[in-house]
Amino acid sequence: MASMRDIKRRKESVASTGQITKAMKLVSTVKLQKAKARAEGNKPYFTMLYDTICSVLGRTGTIDHRYLKANDSTRKAVIAITSNRGLAGGYNNNIVKEIVAQCDPKETDIYAVGKKGLEGLLRKGYNIVEDYSEVMNDPLYGDAIHIGKNVLASYENGEVGEIYLAYTSFKNTVVQEPKLMKLLPIDVEEIMQDVEIDVLTPMNYEPEADEALDMIIPKYMNNIIFGAFVEAVASENGARMQAMDSATKNAEDMIADLSLKYNRARQGAITQELTEIIAGADAIS
């Protein structure tokens, strides 16, 4: 059996770790509230943008647009959104796994947002084109525009044929789901299912519908990227909150276990001492 001093030291170390995890849990709870509000603030804009895209596509029925059909390149661009800090359970690893499962390392260009994902994907042999990790600390709409523009440029000059976005979608505080979503070319058939064409209000476009699509689709993309940022931040904090919560619980369990062991060892030591004293006294008399 471990000595009393060892057990005591162990117990103290577990207790201080438990304190840290508890503090981290509280911090991420607060951050989660903020991130959640931000993610919800983006919803009205996103819904309206999506509706507009639907109605433009529904009314014009164009399928010949360059953003709607794939170009010749077989390469994929993946925007991988993870976090800069660990200790968030499987949060970062799930994104890496999702990408590994669906994209071939040789045929994929990674635009990394978040250090942890970048490191993980680098180890798996993916080609990292750009690193925007600092964005994750405080994602702004301008960042989404910037990244969107760069990725779109490589799509337009034919370096990549498809653009994907890997992020963790925030279902609720306890459920976060890693997702790999296709940004471009836009899946027209999927959108068509959502379209309710009301024939009564024909729409005019200024400039022409094709040109309008040219300008609306990049905005749509930017907004999805931004939406993914804010959702990912919420998910990160949700995941961290859960991970730290279970870490705190485990620490408490360990402390209870170690206290029991410590008391038993102390009792054992006392009993042994007593036995020795009695034996000594017996020997003298």
Partner 1 sequence: MADSMKLKVVAPERIFYEGDVSFLEFTTTEGDMGIYPNHIPLTAIIAPGVLRIHEAGEVKEAALLSGFIQILQEEVTVLAESVEWPDEIDANRAKEAEIRARRRIEEGSGVDMNRAELALKRALIRQSLTR
Name the site residues for partner 1 (rule: CB under 8 A). 38, 41-42, 44-45, 48-49, 52, 56, 141, 145, 201-207, 212, 215-216, 219, 222-223, 226
Distance (Å, rounded) from C-alpha 178 to C-alpha 195? 27
Closest CA relative to residue 52, chosen from 216, 187, 226, 211: 216
Nearest distance from residue 53's CB to partner 1, in Å? 11
Residue 195, phi-psi category: left (phi > 0), alpha (psi -120 to 50), beta (remainder):
beta
Nearest distance from residue 218's CB to partner 1, in Å? 10
Q: What is the per-residue DSSP string for 71-101?
A: -S---EEEEEE--SS--STTHHHHHHHHHHH
Do residues 136 and 113 touch, judged by C-beta distance below 8 A?
A: yes
Closer by beta carbon to partner 1, 40 or else 104: 40
Closer by beta carbon to partner 1, 128 or else 191: 191
Closer by beta carbon to partner 1, 203 or else 270: 203
Give the contacts of 256 (CB within 8 A, at least 6 positions apart).
none
Closer by beta carbon to partner 1, 95 or else 217: 217
Q: What is the per-residue DSSP string for 132-148?
A: -GGGGGS--HHHHHHHH
Nearest distance from residue 254's CB to partner 1, in Å? 43
Nearest distance from residue 134's CB to partner 1, in Å? 19
Nearest distance from residue 42's CB to partner 1, in Å? 6
Residue the block writes with tokens 């577990």: 14
Nearest distance from residue 205's CB to partner 1, in Å? 5
Distance (Å, rounded) from C-alpha 144 to C-alpha 159? 20
Closer by beta carbon to partner 1, 32 or else 243: 32
Closer by beta carbon to partner 1, 82 or else 223: 223
Nearest distance from residue 65's CB to partner 1, in Å? 16
Closer by beta carbon to partner 1, 7 or else 35: 35
Distance (Å, rounded) from C-alpha 122 to C-alpha 25? 29
Distance (Å, rounded) from C-alpha 230 to C-alpha 38? 7
Distance (Å, rounded) from C-alpha 64 to C-alpha 46? 25
SS3 168: strand
